[in-house]
Amino acid sequence: MCRNIRPLFNFEPPATDEEVFAAALQYVRKVSNQRKPSGRNLITFDQAVEEIAAVTRRLVDSLETSAEPKNREEEAAKARAKNAIRFGRA
């Protein structure tokens, strides 16, 4: 599951709230070992996702670098090329 968490820092345009939330959701799913929590755990699960998303947003917004921002399309193309080689679709 955590393979789906993508880097969020130093991209142009910056990470959206939806991307931050998706990363937080994947993290909580992995840590809790629950894709869809039961009714008893739903509130706790949702609260954890919200808190982690807030912390992640603060982290991404406060990090600094002198490197040029990465281009999302270029990074996606690199990942596709790497996967094509890895999975034999080159």
- pLDDT above 90 covers a percentage of the chain that reads 66
pLDDT at 90: 54
Instruction: Give 40's Cβ-side CA count (13 Å radius).
Output: 0
Distances (CA, A) of 59 to 8, 19, 64, 68: 10, 14, 10, 18
Give the model's pLDDT for residue 6: 81
Residue 37 structural domain: 2-86
Q: Confidence band (pLDDT; 50, 70, 90) for 57?
A: very high
Instruction: Tell me the average pLDDT across 47-56.
Output: 98
For the chain, give the mean pLDDT.
90
Report pLDDT digits (tens) over 61-78: 999 999 999 998 888 898
Q: Does residue 1 carry a pLDDT above 50?
A: no
- Does residue 7 carry a pLDDT above 50? yes
Give how many domains the chain has, as a whole number: 1
